[in-house]
Amino acid sequence: MFYVKSLEHSIVLQPIHFGPKLYATIKRLVKESVEGVALPHYGYCVKVLGVDDENVKAGVIEYDTGDVCYTVQYEALLFRPMKNEVLDAVVTDIMSLGFYAAVGPLKVFVHMSKMPQDMNGEQGGGFDGNAWVSADEEVKIEEKCGVRLRILGCTADDGQFTAVGTMNDEFLGMIDTGDEANAY
* Residues binding other proteins (CB under 8 A): 83, 93, 95-98, 100, 109, 111, 113-114, 151-155, 157-158, 162-164
3-state class of 182 per DSSP?
helix
Nearest to other proteins of 56, 120 (CB atom) = 120
Distance in angstroms (rounded) separating the CA atoms of residues 9 and 180: 41
Nearest to other proteins of 45, 56 (CB atom) = 45
Distance in angstroms (rounded) separating the CA atoms of residues 54 and 65: 26
Of the candidates 159, 153, 142, the one whose C-alpha atom is nearest the C-alpha of residue 85 is 153
Nearest to other proteins of 92, 123 (CB atom) = 92
CB of 164 to other proteins, least distance (A): 4
CB of 166 to other proteins, least distance (A): 9
CA distances from 84 to 149, 166, 169, 175 (A): 9, 9, 11, 18
Q: Please, which residues have CB within 8 angstroms of residue 128's CB and are 6 or more apart in sequence?
A: none
CB of 174 to other proteins, least distance (A): 20
CB of 115 to other proteins, least distance (A): 12
Nearest to other proteins of 158, 170 (CB atom) = 158
